[in-house]
Amino acid sequence: YVDWDFDALQELGRDFAPMAERLGVDITFSSKRYLELMPAGEPWQKSRISPGIHRLNMLRIAVEYEPQCRINTSELCRSGATYTIDTVSRLREEVGPDLPLVLILGSDQWFNLSTWREWQSLTDFVHIAYCARDGVRESEIPESQVLWAAPRMTEARKLVFSPSGRIARFEMAPHRASATAIRRTLAREPFARAMSSLDGWLDPGVASYIRTHGLYHPARHYPQVQHEHRRTHPARRQRP
């Protein structure tokens, strides 16, 4: 499953099937293999986030014609700060001990994994697959994380043969889309000009929803979420 924290669905939204292909998972014709997209609740490492109902609605629009995708709202239904370790442990309880579960992470999330709560326990419940992307140097990953990950590394296609405990790296075609750039452009430019600048990065239905609800306008205020003491990597955004 993908633990989703983007405010605007873009970088991954049009690549569900190719991503599954990279992981060696046939999600097109199997009733037991699919991508589960989970909008984040209140990620404790983010100080500003748009309301969950809007993020959920945009996700529903983006995957309307993606039958291999499902949406899990369990984090949105929880109150207070949310943590991935709690989410994966509950998922494991729900599906039982034998079903393979793969937590799919972006490269930035993988880079910051050692700042998450109980990060070393994640593989007790799921596999981890992280997407390699230009601009993130593996040499910058903390040594503690490298040492923890090394004995768990495997090929992505082998993740479906066991329920949890392994880590795989996979690659996808590069894309210029950026959630930060989308929000910044929508905040600074008139809508029509912003859409021209973004050059098709947004699903048309999602773009229409953003315009209708006035999202990402600089005058709009979003709720603050709970913070905890945390270690940061320079110039890197964090994820719970």
pLDDT tens digits along 118-164: 999 999 999 999 887 665 567 788 999 999 999 999 998 898 899 99
Residue 194 sits at φ, ψ, to 5 deg, of -60, -45
Please state which of the ranges 62-66, 102-106, 116-120 shows the lowest mean pLDDT.
62-66
Q: Measured between alpha carbons, how far is 105 from 66 in angstroms, rounded to an integer? A: 20
Looking only at Cα atoms, what is the longest distance across the chain? 51
- Residue 106 pLDDT greater than 50, yes or no: yes
Around Cβ 219, how many Cβ atoms within 10 Å? Answer: 6
H/E segment holding residue 105: strand 102-105
Give SS3 for 36. Answer: strand
The C-alpha atoms of residue 87 and residue 93 are separated, in whole angstroms, by 10
Cα distances (angstroms) measured from residue 104 to each of 3, 16, 31, 174: 7, 11, 19, 17
Q: Which residue has the higher pLDDT, 153 or 42?
A: 153
Q: What was the pLDDT predicted at 27? A: 37
- Stated pTM of the model: 0.74
Per-residue confidence (pLDDT) for residue 65, from 0 to 100: 82
**Average pLDDT over every residue of 29-33:** 47
The pLDDT score that the predictor gives to residue 225 is 37
Residue of 88, 97, 167 lying closest to 127 (CA atoms): 167
| Confidence at residue 138, expressed as pLDDT on a 0 to 100 scale | 72
Q: What confidence score (pLDDT) does residue 64 get?
A: 85
